[in-house]
Amino acid sequence: MKKHILVIPGDGIGQEVTTWGKAVLEKIGQQGGHEFTFDEALMGHAAIEATGTPLPDETLEKAKASDAILFGAIGHIKYDNDPTAKVRPEQGLLKIRKELGLYANLRPIMLFDELLGASSLKPEILKGTDILFFRELTGDVYFGEKKRSDDRNTASDLMIYHRYEVERIARKAFEAAQARTKRLCSVDKANVLEASRLWREVVQELAKEYPDVETEHMFIDNAAMQLVKNPKKFDVVLTANLFGDILTDEASQIAGSMGMLASASVGDGTGFFEPIHGSAHDIAGQDKANPLASILSVALMFEISFGLKEEAARITSAIDKVLKDGYRTADIADAATDKSKILGTTAMGQKVLEYL
């Protein structure tokens, strides 16, 4: 198989972790006789520093010309504390999502048995949890009109959805539910929000086309609660952009750490694969970041963009073995971890390559 992959390291720990995602791509490429070629591009704070804009045209062109994109992380504390900044790293990520039509963000919450102890939740609550989130990614209050009054005393963002936006992601979620345990939970706030009422109407209508799927509707406040109380009750969860942002970060604690969660953004064209963790500037450049989410993003790329299911499974099982042998990065270590097996980014990346 011949594929051209664009690597966008982005900000903070992005560079360190994508190094290992890319290394895994190369290794599997060699082993399987695939011809993977690579290019690299800037986005976020790194791009602002170099070009003045968070998503240079060149990056967008390269993205459109590639078969898949491996992304690192975005953001910088400098902008977080300056709410008046006009140019912001995150604009790069939002723009590329929109420009590539990446309307469906898939976030699987899978649990490595070895990490049951690393979570704040009790093992008996966690065991058996397997959730696949479908987060809408190019609509909602993220992309609706933003306004600031001239006196700067009033600010607003429009939370808006169109029927076709809800429909296309809902279809993907229903199809995924059919291939899994046939349960779908759609999360909204239809008791208060008009956008949510449209959301619920569309999902209710579509549900009739998928009679084999058991469809449930839940309010976001209740969902945020149930996710902690009884995560096992969820299978496929479908939700809007903002609610999905919140719920999937919350759900990361089920997997023990954000450092273990990968995501796939798909839609009209090239697929985009990234860890759900952020740029974590506090540990950047210190060889401390967990590269497993980037490596798991590559597994998602194999499965979703290249249809290489076996290769994807090999990556997951290599990570499983590394964990079974007791190796951990600091974020997933606990009191029971053998101190000599706590690895930095590089050593963990190499360990996975070795086990592949």
Give me the active site residues, please.
Answer: 142, 189, 221, 245, 249
Distance CA 296, CA 67 (A): 18
Q: Applying CB under 6 A, which of residues 9, 75, 231, 291 lies at the interface with ligand IPM?
A: 75
Q: Binding of a copy of itself at residue 282 (CB under 8 A)? A: no
Q: Is 328 annotated as a binding residue?
A: no
Q: Is 235 annotated as a binding residue?
A: no
Site for a copy of itself in 91-150 (CB under 8 A): 94, 120-122, 125, 141-142, 144, 146-148
Distances (CA, A) of 241 to 140, 225, 246, 276, 339: 6, 19, 9, 14, 40
Site for a copy of itself in 165-204 (CB under 8 A): 189-198, 200-201, 204
Distances (CA, A) of 206 to 107, 179, 185, 200, 203: 22, 17, 13, 10, 5
Q: Applying CB under 8 A, which of residues 153, 179, 208, 336 lies at the interface with a copy of itself?
A: 153
Distance CA 131, CA 228 (A): 13
With CB cut-offs between 5 and 8 Å by kind, which of a copy of itself, ligand IPM, none does residue 284 bind? none
Q: Binding of a copy of itself at residue 23 (CB under 8 A)? A: no
From the number of C-beta atoms within 10 Å of its C-beta (0-12, 13-18, 19+), residue 354 rates as exposed
Q: Which residues pair with 183 in a beta bridge?
A: 214
Pairing of strands 328-329, 146-148: unpaired
Shorter beta-carbon distance to ligand IPM: residue 82 or 221: 221
Q: Binding of a copy of itself at residue 71 (CB under 8 A)? A: no
Q: Is 107 annotated as a binding residue?
A: yes
Distance CA 172, CA 104 (A): 8
Residues 106, 274 contacting (CB under 8 angstroms): no
Pairing of strands 328-329, 342-343: parallel
Q: Binding of ligand IPM at residue 93 (CB under 6 A)? A: yes
Q: Binding of ligand IPM at residue 194 (CB under 6 A)? A: no
Binding mask 283-322 vs ligand IPM (x if CB under 6 A, - otherwise)? ----------------------------------------
- Minimum CB–partner distance for residue 200 and a copy of itself (Å): 4
Closest to 55 (Cα-Cα) out of 93, 98, 97: 93
With CB cut-offs between 5 and 8 Å by kind, which of ligand IPM, a copy of itself, none does residue 127 bind? none
Q: Give me the sign of the Cα torsion angle 61, 159, 258, 11.
A: positive
The token pair that represents 322 in the structure block: 């590394």
CB atoms within 10 A of CB 82: 11
Residues 155, 183 contacting (CB under 8 angstroms): no
Count of alpha carbons within 13 angstroms of residue 183, beta-carbon side: 10
With CB cut-offs between 5 and 8 Å by kind, which of ligand IPM, a copy of itself, none does residue 198 bind? a copy of itself
C-alpha 294 chain-centroid distance: 10
Shorter beta-carbon distance to a copy of itself: residue 66 or 119: 119
Q: Is 135 annotated as a binding residue?
A: yes
Count of alpha carbons within 13 angstroms of residue 32, beta-carbon side: 20
Closest to 280 (Cα-Cα) out of 268, 299, 293: 293
Shorter beta-carbon distance to a copy of itself: residue 181 or 222: 222
Q: Binding of a copy of itself at residue 283 (CB under 8 A)? A: no
Shorter beta-carbon distance to ligand IPM: residue 249 or 287: 249
Q: Applying CB under 8 A, which of residues 31, 35, 58, 229 lies at the interface with a copy of itself?
A: 229
Residues placed in the known binding site for Mg(2+): 221, 245, 249
Residues placed in the known binding site for substrate: 97, 107, 135, 221
Binding site for a copy of itself (CB under 8 A): 75, 79-81, 83-84, 88, 90, 94, 120-122, 125, 141-142, 144, 146-148, 152-164, 189-198, 200-201, 204, 217, 219-222, 224-225, 227-230, 242-243, 245-250, 252-253, 258, 278
